[in-house]
Amino acid sequence: MAQIIATDLVVGYQTPLTPPLDFCIDKGEYWVIIGQNGSGKTTTLKTLLGLIKPYGGSLTMGGGLDKTKLGYLPQQTEVQRDFPASVYEVVLSGCLSKMGLRPFYNKTERQLARDNISKLGLSDLAKRPYRELSGGQQQRVLLARALCATDSLLVLDEPVAGLDPATTDEMYRLVKGLNQEGVTIVMISHDVDQALADCTHVLKLGKETFVGTVEQYEESRTKEEADHESV
């Protein structure tokens, strides 16, 4: 079941950053977006999220997905470093998209927030101030928030940036676990090898773009290397 369908999609602000891209993200797949700095990874992600309009082509959501049903793990912002908020308050704010015009959270939503807090092993920290947590803990809080918003599609923008190796491994394990539960994953990653180990599909941006399954990507890479050696 297709959740996101891109047809001749070109992303960019004033100038196009990518060639026309055609892809279709199905439920349960695990996509990584890779490429050098400046190749348009974040812009592509923002386009997928509807934060900026496509430069060209079209992008549609299907399979019962709309903006209010997706989860998003953004990069951390300056404001959050001194924001007075408890872990519970941050996670609960993930339920906002379910709320519509209702002014307050209901019982189901508060329970969902508590469930996701314990799912990510944050129960002991629930009342702690968010800004006093370590980088890895903060990422888990934001992941719990994203899970309050979705059980179908999760978009992650470099979730391991600035984390130490052990925390990085743990983060990848968490994301992989969510994928195995049936959550579609779309993730930007710098760490190509680690990302390729878990994913099912690759979108590579930059000089040579690639869209396809991870097997096809590995094949094209080995072929490239072989070509190199024969020259």
Tokens read off for 110: 């508060």
Amino acid at 194: Q
- Minimum distance from CB of 51 to other proteins (Å)? 6
- Minimum distance from CB of 117 to other proteins (Å)? 14
Strand 70-73, strand 56-61: pairing: unpaired
Nearest to other proteins of 93, 167 (CB atom): 93
- Minimum distance from CB of 147 to other proteins (Å)? 12
Tokens read off for 117: 């807090």
> Dmax over Cα atoms in the chain, in whole Å?
66
- Minimum distance from CB of 161 to other proteins (Å)? 15
Amino acid at 14: Q
- Minimum distance from CB of 186 to other proteins (Å)? 12
Nearest to other proteins of 40, 74 (CB atom): 74
- State how far the alpha carbon of 178 is from the alpha carbons of 4, 33, 129, 201, 214, in Å: 19, 18, 26, 16, 19
CA distance linking residue 198 with residue 176, whole number of Å: 7
- Minimum distance from CB of 82 to other proteins (Å)? 7
Nearest to other proteins of 68, 134 (CB atom): 68
Task: Tell me which residue of 197, 176, 229, 227 sits closest to 34, measured CA to CA.
Answer: 197
CA distance linking residue 125 with residue 82, whole number of Å: 17
Provide the binding-site residues for other proteins, judged by CB under 8 A.
49-51, 66-68, 70-72, 74, 77, 79-80, 82-86, 89-90, 93-94, 96-97, 99, 103-105, 127, 129, 131-132, 145, 149, 155
Tokens read off for 87: 């872990």
Torsion of CA 163, 130, 80, 111, to 10 degrees: 110
Nearest to other proteins of 109, 198 (CB atom): 109
Nearest to other proteins of 161, 192 (CB atom): 161
Nearest to other proteins of 117, 214 (CB atom): 117
